[in-house]
Amino acid sequence: MTITLHGYTYSVYSRIPRMVCHEKGIAFDWREVDPFDDATPESYGELHPFRRVPVLQHDGFTLYETGAISRYLDEAFPGPSLQPADIGQRARMAQIISIVDAYVYWPLVRQVFSHRVFRPKFGDSWDEDTIAAGLETSKVVLAALESLVSEHHHIISPEVSLADFHLATMIDYFAMADEGATMLAQYEKSSAWWANMRLRDSVTATAPL
Ligand SMILES: N[C@@H](CCC(=O)N[C@@H](CS)C(=O)NCC(=O)O)C(=O)O
């Protein structure tokens, strides 16, 4: 049985299946692919036609799209289940994952984190207008998440679920920007959720920065 994850060290999306593998005790081979590097071989397009990361390969089965990958890992392997049995909570989990993909990734990660933290760290130029636009959108996103966070330590249920990992990687990066940390602190339930999640082994063990 061979499991290979093609991903990029600093990628929020690549970190999600790494967290899931950590939670479930799944060993895998890692292939580093920088989707932003023009030198990434043309042949990578055969694995991922949109040339993004991550991609999972398991015994000849190839899968891209992180939500699908983490569900597959959860269902194909033993270990604790990371999807709630309750149908309403499972729907909530799917909703949060969808919100993260559609509304969280771009403003919190690509606009705020990339321009305030990542680009300066690696000597690239950044754009204050992009950060300001990202922060403006982030208010709407965080308010929406705040209204969905459960009273428990985890985002939708007493047990941790795939929604927690999908969101954790993005909030981790967002909170590395001073403005991001300040904004997150204004949302009580989300802050309490992150204060708990950030200590989890799978989160600390996969931290890229
Ligand atoms: N819908 C994809 C999104 C993956 C994604 O956007 N990954 C980023 C890295 S975190 C990427 O490959 N970006 C390359 C690009 O934007 O060209 C998924 O769920 O896996």
CA-nearest of 118, 108, 122, 129 to 183 is: 108
CA-nearest of 162, 172, 165 to 207 is: 172
- For residue 105, what are the β-bridge partners? none
pLDDT digits (tens, 9 = 90+) for 19-71: 999 999 999 999 999 999 999 999 999 999 999 999 999 999 999 999 999 99
For the whole prediction, is pTM greater than 0.95? yes
pLDDT value of position 30? 98
Distance CA 118, CA 124 (A): 8
52 lines ligand 1 (CB under 6 A): yes
Taking the centre of ligand 1 as the mean of its atom positions, its distance from the CA of residue 30, in whole angstroms, is 17
Nearest ligand 1 atom to the CA of 35 is 14
DSSP state at residue 45: G
78 falls in which pLDDT band (50, 70, 90)? very high
pLDDT digits (tens, 9 = 90+) for 99-144: 999 999 999 999 999 999 999 999 999 999 999 999 999 999 999 9
Closest residue (by CA) to atom 6 of ligand 1?
52
- For residue 30, what are the β-bridge partners? 5
Kindly tell me the burial class for residue 151, based on how many C-beta atoms sit within 10 Å of its own C-beta (0-12, 13-18, 19 or more).
exposed
- Find the radius of gyration of the CA atoms of the chain: 17
Distance CA 13, CA 6 (A): 11
Taking the centre of ligand 1 as the mean of its atom positions, its distance from the CA of residue 28, in whole angstroms, is 20
Question: Long-range contacts: 196-201, Cβ < 8 Å, 24+?
Answer: 196/153, 196/154, 197/153, 197/154, 197/164, 197/168, 197/171, 198/168, 198/172, 200/160, 200/168, 201/22
Taking the centre of ligand 1 as the mean of its atom positions, its distance from the CA of residue 160, in whole angstroms, is 24
Whether the predicted pLDDT of 157 surpasses 90: no
Return mean pLDDT, the chain.
97
1 falls in which pLDDT band (50, 70, 90)? confident
pLDDT value of position 44? 97
Residues 175-204: what's their mean pLDDT?
A: 97
Return the H-helix or E-strand segment holding 126.
Answer: none
CB atoms under 10 Å from CB of 150, counted, come to 14
More confident call, 158 vs 99: 99
Place of tokens 């899931």: 20
35 lines ligand 1 (CB under 6 A): yes
Provide the token pair at 166. 């999908």
pLDDT value of position 153? 80
CA 134 to chain centre: 17
13 lines ligand 1 (CB under 6 A): yes
CB-CB contact of 20 with 74 (8 Å): yes
Q: Which domains does the chain have, with CATH numbers?
A: 3-76 (3.40.30.10), 87-203 (1.20.1050.10)
- Ligand 1, pocket-test mutation among 16, 52, 73, 206, most atoms within 8 A of CB: 52
